[in-house]
Structure 1
């Protein structure tokens, strides 16, 4: 019997028992209620908010006496429930933030000193013109001075009050004011007379004893009279620095801006007063570097990412440029805490501090190193070791400069070995040649081959390092990875290795060497960080073809300068970063060098990388070269050595034709992978069916369904290739080469 049938039965029973006592009817209602409760408890999401006090068989005595045995609901919020007893105290800083922050202090002092020096130069060059104008205005000032002194001496300011009392025929008040006026006049006339006599005597004395000083005082008097005679709306000496006052950030302004970004929960909370919905400012709005900082709790269910997605409407509400407005979460607090930082100027217009390592200093790649500044112009650090790096952006946004900066950081660690490959071919990494173990600029076949041979060296070095780490005792290498202490031991040869590939899509898409280069780079990106090998990949076309998934998915540090869409944004920063509010599409064309950095810390952050031009890079490299000479680490390209030519380069398409018999029209990819591994184990070892398919796509060959027989003799269909497609691809490729 289902629930509806039971309800119908109970309705009939109640109709037939109309004469039954109220207690019996209540019993039936109780049964109905109990049955309904047992059924509804599975569907009502709020059923667990109450407990039934009668479920254990003990009902209130009052209920028993009244005959009502219906269970009384009990609220789940017990008043006896104890509090956690945890209280957090936060101390406000004793000194203002601009005084404790080096960038804030420097910017404040520079602004004040610069204005003072400019005003001095501005007024100094205009001093003769000021003197002439004041001299011409001196007679008017003298007349004003005499008239004002006369009015003061004879109490002219009280005349209207006395006249009023005369009109009102208020004799007592008039006599009182008159006596007050007489006293004032006597005193003021006496003061004026004494001043006049003293001034005359002083002038005559100076005329006799020091006529030169009399001329000085007379000139000063003329200038003072000129100031007195100047029109109030046209002062002779105007301001040298015209101030355009930015509106001070206040609570009402913040709420006004948040109310207008289009978030319904925010608007409702602000209209209701905020506190009832969990929204409140958690601290006073303060100066923080070259801007203001406001900390506030958002309404329940609203996160900082919701605000970050609406930076432009927020900037409009604050009446600031979008480059001034930087909402962010507070990693030390809960997910509803917002830090709103509003700068005085956009980030790309703020003068950045010089890179601390530009003129002095060394680097330990195992430790954080300053490479840029945040919105507040505070230092931002990066730790390159134990990570692979991806840098992506559209052209002309500072991607190559950022990669060169990372190489300069590596160059200042005298232990590090540098591999610098510039496939754009413009020589942006040229300053690093004196310290580079391997260096190449260009995209010709011989350049790509040079890179491939260098990568083969790295692959062999990777394998050697794995054996060394495996042989070390646990007491010296407890985490099975290279440490700074191990890198210092020259006998182990576990020094840091940093390899940078700018415009990495060029070698990956090379029709002859691309497959092997991608395979080695993917292996370095996966296993290299633990063994002291850091790889950096930069591309202006961040897509799956230019930046293979095996590399991008294993990158720890990600730097995304301006990109044009969500796919490129998430390819560099990671899946769903765009949806979470970390959008490099918001940067303008003038935001060169500004990027989202992910991987260093819990949350991505905005960073403006330090600007080091080619001349500055050469200066840093010259210092790094001297350090390396002292350490004994000038190798490879820096001393004219070339990588050893490896085994004859392979041709994937030709190798497939070698392992696929002429009578095999179609063959499974997994069989092709096995045969290739037997042909060239140093190249194809570890290849699977998916690897074969992926490396054939650049040649225009797609996998298809192939019927075949498994090792057990069972016929089945699997993904494979047609031999005719391989032959066609080779013919088309050779035809293009001959045409070139």
Structure 2
């Protein structure tokens, strides 16, 4: 029963403070005076702000944003938060909406592959069974006597209700006359009905026999075959089927939720173990049914809170053991577009390392690089195409992991497009790309200084080519080039000089780490990568030593497509695949080193940038004879189109570097009395000394001219800095970027000393 004087009672009528005071006085002088609004506000998790128009008593209502007092209860969950807007719910459901058309039907190539496989499978089954028809006929003939005995015996048992005989005997043994009489009457009734039916069947069979006996011989043999077939089927042994299986069932165990949970829980991951101990039913949640996906099974899983896919990837070998499958058939990967705990576990029927991916380029008459280059296949057998136009590609791995073989695939695809100008620099000197020498505009194979210098000259030429193309594409009319990018239509107009140019640098670390040419080559490569994409200039770089010196960060940070085969650690992994790739679960360290015939994953790597999500891809295998056939076919195409040029025609290109010495030229234009000179002054004098070499530098802005000289001096180890000087025509002195003549002299001395020691050695 409510108390009207109790301020804690919600049913108490509103009373004034004076009335409450009177009641308190009546109840005792020690009673506490309170305000109703204050007490009621204390019962709500978020009290309203104080009303300035309300009564101000001894205690005011606490503000929601006011300081918290000791003993206050703060509720962080908003009331009504469990209600959701129906439109929000619908949007979230739409994100997980299953496709109407199966994924394999969306790809024409994959659909054709699956339909072809199904057709071949059932054609094999049909052919297998047809060729064994005589064997099956013999089996039925041998089993027909047993079938006849079974048929007659079954007919007799049915006619005279012999299957009920044990029950009637049991009634007699129990001395139960009532049940025995019931069973006997039931048996008599059945026999009275079944005997005429059996006689009807016998008469019918007799008539059929007479008709068949009078029929032609063909009909008689046909009837005999049918009778033997029926009797043979009836007489077959339970443990020996009549028809053999055309396809032996796979010994691969079907992937089930119990198997997946078993495999994940044995990995020894603390977060999974804790979640399983608290809530084993929902710790690991399957977001969709486990289903077949290509030649394997796919399971989409939400890992327990706090567990990432990277934790699973670190223990891939233990998962393979738990699943009782080869390591090369277990491919866990994440889907960070949803969250970091979404695991996509794909378990293949076959070991990927034992699979040979055949390239369609072997049989292709020609190829269009604007459609990408067929590169390989993912673990599910789906073909992977690498886009090449408007891209640059970086390939990295440890030695012997299939890096050069991957480069060979890209080179073959580019060679089969006669519009592509191919530049090949194989800086290992083993001749892995020699088969394409007949199609290359520029070609070198070697690890010596002249080969490195040739490759550096190529990058310098490419830098000038990018600048030329930028100016050329700027003049094209909007109807021909609306996006200011090289297209197939523009590439086919050979006179414009905007055809695709693919430059390959295998073992590029030997170039970028070179003491004399490396710094300038790195700057040129970075310039080409940044600006050449839209202009049809493509760099393909391959390295087996991905460190900061061998692969400048400006290059690795701007390459758009990366393919990383087996590497040793996290640093090399992120140098190739991008910063934080290892942390995000994209780890090329999980691949097993060594060739496939020894259980290794050579040729398999992570491909990033070519597909919406990073993928494990095995590159197609092109051996030397197959590559030679492709190169010969490409040479014939180029010869017919008239696109052979440069090295392919036996031409010796003029060296891009001037026949003069930059350091010597600087000493020639800077007098011995001039200790320090501004860069822009030096450039002006150099342009006057050799206009053909340094004239383009003068066309730049003043700051750009100074920067150009700084860049040109870097390979020699000469640094520029702020020096005091005055304009040559007179004027006020100032500090500007310049050189010190003694630094130039020291650089020449050091260089000449290295040459003499190298020659003596």
TM-score, with length taken from structure 1: 0.73
The secondary structure found in structure 1 opposite 2:551 is coil
Alignment partner, residue 617 of structure 2: 607
Retained in 1: the 8 A contact 2:556–2:576? yes
* CA offset digits 1:354-413 (Å, max 9, x no partner): 648953675253x65553433333443433233321111234433223223323443455
Q: Distance in 2 between matches of 1:618 and 1:274?
A: 59
Output aligned runs, 1:430-449, within 5 Å: 430-443=434-447, 447-448=451-452
Alignment partner, residue 282 of structure 1: 287
Does structure 1 residue 257 correspond to structure 2 residue 263? yes
The secondary structure found in structure 1 opposite 2:562 is strand
Would you say how many aligned residue pairs link Structure 1 and Structure 2?
681
Alignment partner, residue 177 of structure 1: 183
* CA offset digits 1:3-27 (Å, max 9, x no partner): xxxxxxxxxxxxxxxxxx9979x9x
Q: Distance in 2 between matches of 1:330 and 1:256?
A: 22
C-alpha spacing 1:631/1:148, structure 2 compared with 1 (3 Å): same
Q: Distance in 2 between matches of 1:506 and 1:292?
A: 43
Give the counterpart of 1:644 among 651, 654, 661: 654
Alignment partner, residue 344 of structure 2: 339
| Deviation (angstroms), 1:66 | 12
Output aligned runs, 1:409-558, within 5 Å: 409-443=413-447, 447-448=451-452, 450-468=454-472, 487=491, 490-508=494-512, 517-558=521-562
Does structure 1 residue 330 correspond to structure 2 residue 340? no
Does structure 1 residue 155 correspond to structure 2 residue 161? yes
The secondary structure found in structure 2 opposite 1:464 is helix
C-alpha spacing 1:192/1:251, structure 2 compared with 1 (3 Å): same
Q: Distance in 2 between matches of 1:255 and 1:593?
A: 31
Does structure 1 residue 75 correspond to structure 2 residue 81? no
The secondary structure found in structure 2 opposite 1:563 is coil
Give the counterpart of 2:608 among 598, 601, 605: 598
The secondary structure found in structure 1 opposite 2:185 is helix
* CA offset digits 1:98-149 (Å, max 9, x no partner): 5555566455545544444545565566666666666555555544444444
C-alpha spacing 1:435/1:66, structure 2 compared with 1 (3 Å): closer
Q: Distance in 2 between matches of 1:393 and 1:508?
A: 17
Q: Distance in 2 between matches of 1:579 and 1:65?
A: 54
C-alpha spacing 1:280/1:511, structure 2 compared with 1 (3 Å): closer
Retained in 2: the 8 A contact 1:435–1:634? yes
Alignment partner, residue 21 of structure 2: none
Does structure 1 residue 374 correspond to structure 2 residue 384? no
* CA offset digits 1:622-670 (Å, max 9, x no partner): 66567656765332233333312345668999999999999xxxx99x9
Retained in 2: the 8 A contact 1:390–1:557? yes
TM-score, with length taken from structure 2: 0.71
Moved more, 262-271 or 530-539: 262-271
Q: Distance in 2 between matches of 1:55 and 1:659?
A: 84
The secondary structure found in structure 2 opposite 1:465 is helix
Q: Distance in 1 between matches of 2:753 and 2:373?
A: 52
Retained in 2: the 8 A contact 1:52–1:74? no
C-alpha spacing 1:634/1:54, structure 2 compared with 1 (3 Å): same
The secondary structure found in structure 2 opposite 1:283 is coil
Give the counterpart of 2:643 among 630, 633, 636: 633
Output aligned runs, 1:137-152, within 5 Å: 138-152=144-158
C-alpha spacing 1:23/1:409, structure 2 compared with 1 (3 Å): farther
Output aligned runs, 1:233-244, within 5 Å: 233-235=239-241, 237-244=243-250
The secondary structure found in structure 2 opposite 1:262 is coil
Does structure 1 residue 363 correspond to structure 2 residue 371? no
The secondary structure found in structure 2 opposite 1:595 is strand
| Deviation (angstroms), 1:498 | 0.9
Alignment partner, residue 37 of structure 1: none
C-alpha spacing 1:345/1:192, structure 2 compared with 1 (3 Å): farther
| Deviation (angstroms), 1:558 | 0.9
Alignment partner, residue 383 of structure 1: 387
Q: Distance in 1 between matches of 2:339 and 2:628?
A: 46
C-alpha spacing 1:74/1:728, structure 2 compared with 1 (3 Å): closer
Alignment partner, residue 11 of structure 1: none
Q: Distance in 1 between matches of 2:665 and 2:172?
A: 122
Alignment partner, residue 580 of structure 2: 576
Q: Distance in 2 between matches of 1:520 and 1:66?
A: 72
Q: Distance in 2 between matches of 1:158 and 1:471?
A: 102
Q: Distance in 2 between matches of 1:275 and 1:225?
A: 53
Alignment partner, residue 317 of structure 2: 312
Alpha carbon RMSD of aligned pairs, Å?
5.4
Does structure 1 residue 563 correspond to structure 2 residue 573? no
Retained in 1: the 8 A contact 2:359–2:376? no
| Deviation (angstroms), 1:430 | 4.2
Q: Distance in 2 between matches of 1:562 and 1:594?
A: 8
* CA offset digits 1:422-473 (Å, max 9, x no partner): 3344544344345432233344555445444444432332332344456678
